[in-house]
Structure 1
Amino acid sequence: MRQNNTGRSKPVPLAWQPLIAGYLRHLRALGRPSTTVNSRREQIEGMARALNSIKPADVTRGDIIGYHADQTWARETRRTHRNAAVSFFTWAFTTERLSGVNPVDGLPTV
């Protein structure tokens, strides 16, 4: 049976939800405009959905590169998604919410 598109986004994987919520709270605490917070939320949630079966602590640089490579974004859109990933994972590792190897270290620039 074919599923109909409801127009709603797929849910964000549970493993990502608390980390994303903390990151957005961090952006609001820094006084980022609501438009920036909403853009970052959409960008990080999109990546989380695409990496669905991978927990944030298990994401690799290759996973992020693969996710970006699969998209048909314009250069500036690609750049903002890359920057969102860098900001998100840098925050998560700096605040010790994640440990180990930061997957955005050495991520190619756009």
Structure 2
Amino acid sequence: MIDTPAEPAHLATALVRFTPGARTNWHSHANGQTLYITDGIGLVGTRDGHVVRACAGQTVKCLPGEEHWHGATDSTLMAHIAMVVGDDTGDGTTWLEPVTDEQYANALNSTN
């Protein structure tokens, strides 16, 4: 974590690093999430099959409640600063099942 919110703020920020092929599980954020790519090339995928390939210096926004995942490509590392606005009960993240190898491969193929 870069910063954990203290009352009355609710913005949590974290620097997250991914090795090639690494990715998060599917998840959502009640108030959305902003990802600022700091190094490498990353992928951000949504349940409808939309995939964004993002490079260092780019920002990707995930909508409130949108189920998504993010991670590195299969051949590059990726690091991002993740920003989430929570509430009085926490950061509003709901963690779901792992992204399958097939889903990941389809994401890679759709952005090449």
Higher helix share: 1
Q: What TM-score range do you get, normalising by the shorter chain?
A: under 0.3
Specify which structure has the bigger relative contact order, considering alpha-carbon pairs within 8 angstroms and separated by 6 or more residues: 2
Higher strand share: 2
